[in-house]
């Protein structure tokens, strides 16, 4: 997908970014192998939230698409995947929305909940997962070709909102799949924000069931600050070039640091202590340092820095009360059933946010996921999440 950029990744990985000389060697298929001169084994400690990621799937051609800003994006495409079959009544579509760096391959990140008899029951539902607008996994985004220049958009890609992405996915469901309502919408983190917009844009008649996990009703100053700090790490990479990024030589070092910052906040103090403590490798480096370097390098291989900047900005647009009379009025107006879940150790989207969200939804159930995994518990605690989902979707 990224063409010769992979060569730059390979060059960066082989050269290393650490003064210690300890580096995680990766092939270009996403399979981590080892840290040289280190006792650390990639994937041996903390569980990874994503498996191998790519842009495979079906494509919906949406044509020209008008954004909230008034800008018209030409020839927009949406990459999506489906699981299960559409019933005769066309009322069994279950939409699942991915998180910030996810894709439409639901089986790669929530696979333990997908299949016959599971929460995402392929015998009962047609499950649809679509890649967000502005991502780099098949849907039109910064690395797509701008037809007016025949070059990648990169930072010329317009600002998009969560509502832009959700409305585009609704177009896919209505026109591409041909249904007049869905059974429900489920998502965690950014996916939960999308699920909320599905419910409020579509209303209870179109979206009678809503599941939002690990998010709040808005992106607060805390989350915006964290996103901005990660963006700044990309801006300070000399290859950002004041936004004039070379698609073949992007600011990978900045992306690496941004991912390391994110992986710290996605987890917990207790989780890091249990997994790593103060253990060092043979060179005297803390193993937790090796782990973060591994995560940063692995991420460089599968994601794009410009896309990361644009998608984190998209997350910052999250405010369900905008132009709807405020949070209370917006959420009180949703007449469907809602399930809100939060992780008790989440420092990125603290549990109080889910409590407040559930309190504002008139017909909601609130569940707490007890986990040492922090925010990433919504991806890693699939048995717990799946059991709550099964009960809610059956009711």
pLDDT in the model for residue 29: 31
pLDDT in the model for residue 39: 36
Answer for the pair 250, 237: CB distance below 8 angstroms, yes or no: no
pTM of full prediction above 0.75: yes
Q: Which residues contact 391 (CB under 8 A, 6 or more apart)?
A: none
* Co-location of 207 and 233 in the same domain: no
> pLDDT under 50 in the chain at which residues?
1-4, 6-7, 10-44
* Co-location of 213 and 344 in the same domain: yes
pLDDT in the model for residue 313: 98
* Co-location of 244 and 374 in the same domain: no
Name the domain boundary from 246, 279, 314: 314
How many angstroms from the chain centroid is the CA of residue 39?
A: 31
* 75: in domain: yes
pLDDT in tens, 30-48: 323 222 323 334 444 566 6
* 320: in domain: no
pLDDT in the model for residue 308: 98
375 is catalytic: yes
pLDDT in the model for residue 31: 29
* Co-location of 280 and 354 in the same domain: no
Q: Tell me the CA end-to-end span of the chain in Å, nearest whole number.
A: 42
Q: Which domain holds residue 38?
A: 5-18+34-45+222-314
Q: Which residues contact 293 (CB under 8 A, 6 or more apart)?
A: 17, 18, 22, 23, 24, 260
* Co-location of 212 and 227 in the same domain: no
Which DSSP category does 240 fall into? G
Domain count, the chain: 2
Please list the alpha-helical segments (H only) found in the chain: 5-15, 106-109, 162-171, 190-206, 221-235, 252-266, 269-275, 287-302, 305-316, 327-332, 351-360, 377-380, 382-394
pLDDT in tens, 343-393: 999 999 999 999 999 999 999 999 999 999 999 999 999 999 999 999 999
CATH of the domain at 261: 1.10.1740.110
- Residue 39: Cβ within 10 Å count: 14
* Co-location of 255 and 345 in the same domain: no
* 261: in domain: yes
Radius of gyration of the chain, Cα coordinates, nearest whole angstrom: 21
Task: Provide the residue count of the chain.
Answer: 395
Please list the alpha-helical segments (H only) found in 207-326: 221-235, 252-266, 269-275, 287-302, 305-316
pLDDT in the model for residue 377: 97
pLDDT in the model for residue 3: 44
Q: How many angstroms separate the CA atoms of 219 and 142, rounded?
A: 23
* 265: in domain: yes
* Co-location of 102 and 208 in the same domain: yes
Cα-Cα-Cα-Cα dihedral sign, residues 163, 168, 171, 177: negative
Name the domain boundary from 314, 347, 367: 314
Question: Which of the following is catalytic: 237, 375, 376, 388?
Answer: 375
* Co-location of 68 and 101 in the same domain: yes
pLDDT in the model for residue 6: 47
Q: Tokens 């994006």 correspond to what residue?
A: 73
pLDDT in the model for residue 83: 98
pLDDT in the model for residue 8: 52
* 83: in domain: yes
* Co-location of 229 and 348 in the same domain: no
Return the C-alpha torsion angle 295, 248, 158, 219, nearest 10: 10
189 is catalytic: yes
* Co-location of 361 and 288 in the same domain: no
* 91: in domain: yes
Q: How many angstroms separate the CA atoms of 186 and 213, rounded?
A: 8
Both tokens of residue 151? 């070059």
CATH of the domain at 352: 3.40.50.1820
* 329: in domain: no
* Co-location of 197 and 155 in the same domain: yes
Q: Which residues contact 210 (CB under 8 A, 6 or more apart)?
A: 184, 185, 195, 196, 198, 199, 334, 336, 337, 338, 339, 361
pLDDT in the model for residue 388: 98
Question: Which of the following is catalytic: 22, 189, 227, 233?
Answer: 189
* 228: in domain: yes
* Co-location of 235 and 264 in the same domain: yes
pLDDT in tens, 104-113: 999 999 999 9
Question: Which of the following is catalytic: 346, 364, 371, 388?
Answer: 346
Q: Which residues contact 315 (CB under 8 A, 6 or more apart)?
A: 100, 162, 190, 193, 219, 223, 227
């Amino acid at each position: 997908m990224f063409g010769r950029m992979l060569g730059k990744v390979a060059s960066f990985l082989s050269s290393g970014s650490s003064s210690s000389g300890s580096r995680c060697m990766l092939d270009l298929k996403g399979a981590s192998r080892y840290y040289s001169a280190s006792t650390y084994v990639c994937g041996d400690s903390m569980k990874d939230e994503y498996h191998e990621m790519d842009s495979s799937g079906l494509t919906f051609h949406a044509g020209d698409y008008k954004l909230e800003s008034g800008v018209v994006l030409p020839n927009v495409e949406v990459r999506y995947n489906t699981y299960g079959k559409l019933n005769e009544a066309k009322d069994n579509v279950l939409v699942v929305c991915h998180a910030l760096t996810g894709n439409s391959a639901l089986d790669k990140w929530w696979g333990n909940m997908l299949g016959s008899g599971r929460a995402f029951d392929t015998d009962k539902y047609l499950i649809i997962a679509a890649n967000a607008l502005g991502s780099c996994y098949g849907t039109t985004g910064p690395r797509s070709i701008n037809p007016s220049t025949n070059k990648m958009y990169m930072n010329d890609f317009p600002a998009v909102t969560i509502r832009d992405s959700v409305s585009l996915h609704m177009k896919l469901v209505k026109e591409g799949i041909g249904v007049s309502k869905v059974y429900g919408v489920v998502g965690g983190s950014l996916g939960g924000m999308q699920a909320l917009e599905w419910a409020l844009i579509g209303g209870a008649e179109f979206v009678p069931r809503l599941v939002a996990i690990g998010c709040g009703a808005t992106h607060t100053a805390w989350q915006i600050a964290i996103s901005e700090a990660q963006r700044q790490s990309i801006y300070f990479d000399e290859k950002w070039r004041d936004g004039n990024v070379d698609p073949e030589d992007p600011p990978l070092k900045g992306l690496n640091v941004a991912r390391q910052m994110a992986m710290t906040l996605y987890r917990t103090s207790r989780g890091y202590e249990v997994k790593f403590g103060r253990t060092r490798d043979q060179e005297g480096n803390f193993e937790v340092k090796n782990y973060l370097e591994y995560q940063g390098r692995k991420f460089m291989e599968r994601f794009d820095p410009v896309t990361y900047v644009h998608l984190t900005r998209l997350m910052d647009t999250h405010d369900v009360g905008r132009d709807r009379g405020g949070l209370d009025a917006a959420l009180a107006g949703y007449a469907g059933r809602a399930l809100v879940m939060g992780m008790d150790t989440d420092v990125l989207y603290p549990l109080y946010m889910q409590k407040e969200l559930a309190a504002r939804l008139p017909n909601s159930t609130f569940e707490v996921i007890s986990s040492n995994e922090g925010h990433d518990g919504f991806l890693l605690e699939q048995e717990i999440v799946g059991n709550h989902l099964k009960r809610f979707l059956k009711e």
